[in-house]
Each structure stands twice: as structure tokens, then as C-alpha cells.
Structure 1
Amino acid sequence: MIAGKGLRRRVLVASTAITLVILGALFLLLMQERSSRREVLALNSEVQTQLVSQVAQAHGIALIRHLADALTNDLYYFDLRSIGEQLAATLRQPPMTAALVFDSQGRVVHDGSHDISTYGSSLSLDLVKAALASDEVQVQRDDGVITAALRIRIGDEVLGGVLTRFGLDELNHTVASGNQRLSATLEHASRQRIGSLTLLLAFSTVLALASGWIIQRWIVRPIQRLATVAREIEAGQYGDYQLDSGRRDEIGELERVFERMSQRIAETHRSVARKAYQDKLTGLPNRRAFDEALAEHVARARAEGSRFALMFLDVDNLKQVNDTIGHDAGDRALIRFALLAERSLEQHSGGSAWLARIGGDEFAVLARDEPLPDKALAQAEALMQRIRASSDADHTALGASIGIAVYPTHATDASELLRCADHAMYRAKQLGKNQIQISACTPTP
């Protein structure tokens, strides 16, 4: 009896010990699983929060830079209508809440509204003062709102600046909702794993490794990929990201939301970039595009030892058209002039001449056809003949004064070449307009 009791006691002790070992192992595995879940949730929350912040700030900086470039000419000529249209288009992009242009004194020029109710009001923000003193984008974050400001200048002249503001509430709400659903999914999966671990303790090591692989493969790795894409977008690399893995869980939903968001950012970037380099009225390249093209022509000609001509065109009597018939007629005249110039240059240069509208009634042509300046002179004469022979519904007679300068015959850098062509054009104006003059400049040693 004593031996039997001792055996039962040992069996009980052994059973208890085994039970305690099982419970202890289960408890340790449970603690490890909960710790892993907390780490995953913390990593997910941190990465998504950082992701939203980085993407939103990068989007805001890219948007305000391109918006400032697009508004430079409009602010210089104080074109309130064009400024208002661009600000209104910007405000229609969620989650933008404010977009306005201010002058060099920090006073509101346009707020994107129809009646410009804040016109002339002073912006007493330190952000605006800092922006007017720097070429860098000034960013301020406050209670889920990102405010960015950037000054606009031409040369050393500060014209003013642009300010944008957008909130992160919607994006943060999406992140929080995704975290809650992810937490519920992980909690449910945890309960299922605990039941399985109770019956399959012998395979606990394999199960733990499998769980770690699943978490790494299905949660951590997709989140890390999203973080990588966010860093690329922050660096200005707006690629066509294919992030949708086809999953139908919360991670898959997050991938699809982020893919759509990255596509909208890329589309906005491309749209603003196009507007920054295109003249709104004529569709021709604008002054910004011309400056870059002129610099490229100079660099190429210097490297190749070749030549090219710059033609500076000024539409004659456009002010008279605006004053007598109206600005709409003047705009139509500019559009017609641009079309006629394009067709003439295409016909007589074989498409090698490059035309841009560089401001107001001024156009410029870059031509490489040899011999120069004879070829450029022939192209200019053909252009003037086509313009003289044209007429429109407003009965406006167009004309142009044209100045021609050749690199490196008349100048050896971009700014000097443009100045020489400009002076030649003004000489044509002084001689009675509707004429062509070749520059008399000599290169500076």
C-alpha cells in the first residue's frame, strides 16, 4: 500500500510536473506570441505613421515647388485670373485646405476664391517671413496640419511667395482604422494558435518558426516594402509602383490604398511639371523651358564647336489691339501668331527650329541650320511674309520685329546672347517695326 501510494504520488507528481511544464511552455509561448504581436503592431504603427508623414511632406514640398515655378510669370505680370485658376485647381486636390499667393511684404495677393476676400491682408506668420528670406521650402507641422511656404523670385527680385496647407486627419484615420483591424486579426489568429499549441506542443518549435516566417512574409515584409517606396517618393522618385499583391486582408487593403495614393502623387507631379514648362495661352514652351533649352544649346555648341542662332521676336502693335478691340482679341492674336510661326518654322527649317513664348508679346526661336546667320535670316523673312499675309475674324494686322544673334559670333554665353538678340529686336522697332535686324555685338574676350 505504501509503495502503491508512493507510486501514485510519483505519478501525480510527474503528471503535475508534466502539466506544469506544458503550462509553463504554453505560457512562455503565449508571452512570446503576445510580445511578437505587440512588436508587429508597434512596427506597423510606427512605419505607417512615418510613411504618411514622409509621403505627405514630400508631396507638399514637390507640389509647392512646382506651383511656385508655375506662378512665377503670373505673379510677375500680376495676372490675378491665372493665379486664381491655378490656386483653385490646387485646392481641389484632397487633402488641401488652403493655397494662397502673397507679395514681398507678406500681403495676400490671391487665396484661390472667386472674390479674393482676403486680398491685401497681412500674413503675420513666422513661416512667411522665413520663406521670404530663403530659397528653401519652409515647412511647419502643427496638430496634424502641414503648412509649407516658398518664395517666388526672378533673378534677385523677390516677387512674393506661395503658401499651402493640408491636413493629415483623413490619412491618420485610415492608418488607425487599419491598425485596429490588423490588431483584431492578429488577436483572432493568436487564439487559434494557442489552441493548436495545447495539442501540438511537440511541434511548438516548428510552429514558432512557421509563425515567425508568416509574420515576416505576410506582415513585416509588405510593410518594409511600403516604407522603401515611401523613401523613394520622398527622394522625388515618382515611379509606377505595383504594390497590390492581390491579398484581401488589411495589409492588402493598405497596399491598394498606398498604390492609389502614390499614383495620384505621381500624376500631380507630372501635371504640375507640364504646367511649369508650358505657356498656358499658346501651348508653346514657356520662359522656364526656354532658359533651360538655351543653356543646353550653348553647352552643346561649346562642346561640339558648332553654332546656332537665337531669334528674338516681338509682336508689333499688340498693345493697340488690346486697347482698341480688347484683351480677348489680343489673346487670339497671340495664339494666331504662335500658330503661324510654328507652321512657318516647320516648313522652312524641317522641324529643327525650336519656338517658345518667353513673356507677354515676346517669342524666341533657337535655330541650328547652317549657314548662319543667312539661314536664320531666311527663316525669319519667311515667317514675316506668312504673318503679313494672314488675317483673322478681328481684322487685326499682325507684324513682328525680329532680332537675330548667333553663337559664338555675337556672344559666348546664354545671357549675353539673349541680350544681343534683344538689342537687335529693339533696333528693328526703332527703325519702324516689322523688320529684321542682325546683332552688331562682338563677343566679350
Structure 2
Amino acid sequence: MGFGLDALGIELGTYVLVGSIFLLLLTGLPLAFVTGLVALVFTFGWFGPNALPLITSRIYGFITEYSLVAVPMFVFMASLLDRSGIARDLFNGMRILAGRLPGGVAVQTLVVAFFLAAMSGIIGGEIVLLGILALPQMLRLGYDRNISIGVVCAGGSLGTMMPPSIVLIIYGLMASVSIADLFTAAITPATILMLSYVAYVLFRCIRNPDLGPPLPAQEAHMAGREKLQALKSIILPALIAFLVLGTIYGGIASVTEAASMGVAGVVAGTALRRELTGRLLHESVVQTINTCGMIVWIGIGAATLVGVYNLMGGNRFVSSTILGIDAAPIVIIMVMMLILMVLGMFLDWIGIAMLTLPIFVPIVQELGYDPIWFGILFCLNMQVSFLSPPFGPAAFYLKGVAPPGITLKHIFGSVAPFIILQLIVLSLVLFYPQVAMWILE
């Protein structure tokens, strides 16, 4: 016997539940505690005091999911890369790309961001790293501030899309689909996204070289010895990326095993470079624990909330409401994309995934669409959320390391053209699924 909440009925209950979440978020409570608290209230209020096993079974089911093991491995790998000199040397080595090309350093930054995304799949550390390495150099060379900031934020967010993306792993876990297939399908859209950024930068800078002045002759010129050194700095990151992605696509290792091999590769690389210290390992482990703790707590809260809501009949209510829209199936998918975009302005991607995917994915399958394709759309949507005001995480990551004088207003203004490019690629994959799916055929 509940405590009266069941008298609300599922429709009014849904409004009360969603409203409670947003009201509690306004108090500043973390999302994990908000979802957990609302789940507890609705569990006991709807089903009564004997319903506690409903919560414990959901928590147990979430934390014992084998696919989650890959997450701390990739986070640890990214933490090691952040603190070692591998990424810094990669950026300096890629100077060979910049040469005397207008906008060359911005293009170099995007290519390095793509490499880093292929090595770790973590977003925050990549933006901070590029904010420290690339942004000051572009501003020193007289690059347009908006292009410089936009390149760092958009390029650093490629980790959302490019395998081994943590977003793809969580999606695969929530949707019960092959993570390896998600990785495979994501490569083409991720590459198109990166190339669209490069094309935009080159278009702007070739039309007006003052926006991205070429490197001065003395900096652009590299002796043969320097070029060889630059190429050497690219070899190790390329090997690490191949170790992770090559073993997955070659069928040699599962995603979890490939993550472990990636960690081993980075540890071996830092040891060869004589950078492996107790302090580096300690700081990397602490960051990994903090990040994974956040992911697990948000996952526990959201999994509990969604489980209780489904038992209330919420999944049937949402499904019948969305499927009841008198429109073509593609319009229903577009409505889902719009909902995800709105949520992305206020919530973390992990919370969005945990709260929406258990409800959206069955609807997608009922409409006859491939959940792998929807996963790529979801990740592209989360790319947009990383840059979108008012709470775009990329802006806050960069603000923490940006030179004095660069405000959040500057950052959000600078990323606007890149958000438009993201929406164009999202539309491309939405209306032409083969852009992502051709590689799986």
C-alpha cells in the first residue's frame, strides 16, 4: 500500500516527478542525489514501505554490468595522457602540418584533438590540455579570438563522438547493443565532423588571412632533423590509438580488453619516456576514482528512478504519448532529438543518457529503426550539449585555463558557428542513416 502518490495517476505523477527533479536541481544538489531522492519518495509513496527491494535490485543490476569495467580503464588512460608529455609532444610535432598555411595552427589543433579523442575518449581533460597548449599559441600568433576559442572547444569535444568514446560505451550499456558496432558506426560521422571544422577554419582564414596568420618563416621552417623528431612524436600516439581501436575492429579484443591494453600501452609509453613516477600514477588514479565515482553515483540514481518510473507504468505512458503523435516516424525521432537538446542545456550527458535511453530506445526499435543509428544521433546530440549555453561543460572547462580577459560570454559566442556545423552533421546522419551505417553492411 502506497502513501497516496499512486492516486495521482501516471500522467499527473509524471509531471510531479519531472517537476520535482528540476526544482531540486535549482537548489544546487548534485543530479545523483536528486534522482535518488525522487526515486525513494516515489517508490515508498507509490508502492509502500515494502518496495525497498525494487531499489536494491536496480542498483545491483547497474553496478554489476560488465561493460562498465571499460570506463575506469579509459578514464585512467586519459588521466595518464593528460599528465605525461605525450599529448604536448604530439601537438608540437604536428607543427609539420601548420607550415605557412593560413589557419594552419588551428587545423593542427583539430587534428591533434582528433588523435587525442581516438586515444582516450574523454572530453574534459582534452579541452583543458588544448586550452593550455594551443589557445595561447594561436592568440600569440594573432589568430582571431573567436576562431581560436571555438577550435579548442569544438575539437576538444570530439571525444564524445570518436571511439573509444565513453558516451558510446554508456549508450551501448543502456541500449543493450554491441559497443564494437557503435564504435564502427561512429567513425565516419566523427571524421566528417572534424573535417567540417577544418573546412570552416580554412574557408574563413583563406578568405581573410588576418583571422589566422600563417606561421612566421622562422617558425614554419623545419630542418630535416626537426622533421624526423616531429614524426617520432606522432608514432607513440598513433600506436596507442591502433592498440585500442585496431584490436577491437580486428576482433582480437573486446572493448573492455582493449581498454586494458590501452592503459598498458600508455603506461609503457610513459615509462619509455622516463615520465612514469609515483606522483603521476597517484594523481591519475585519484582523478579516475573521482570521475568514475561521479558516473556510478549518477548511474545508480538514474537507474533507480527509471526503474521505479517504469514500474509505475511510465514507460507505457511515454511510449503511447510519443507513438500517438500523428506524424511520420522520422518526425518522432526529431521530437526525441529536440527533447535531448533541451535537456542538454541543463543536465550532464550521463544523467540524460540514464534518464532518457531506457524509455527512448524501445520506442526507436518499435518504430523500426536501428538502435545503433540512434546511438550515433544521441552522441552527436551530446556534442551539441557540450557547447550549448547556459551550462555547456566545454565552456567551463576552457574558462578554467583560458588567459585573463576571456569570459564565458566570449566562449559561448565563439562556439556558435561550430554548434551550427554539429547540427548540420546531425541532420545529415538523421536523414541519411547510411552515412553512419554503411560500414556495418
Under TM normalisation by the shorter chain, which class is it?
under 0.3
Higher helix fraction (1 or 2): 2
Higher strand fraction (1 or 2): 1
Q: Tell me the TM-score normalized by structure 1.
A: 0.21
Higher relative contact order (Cα pairs below 8 Å, separated by 6+ residues): 2
Please say which structure displays the higher CA radius of gyration: 1
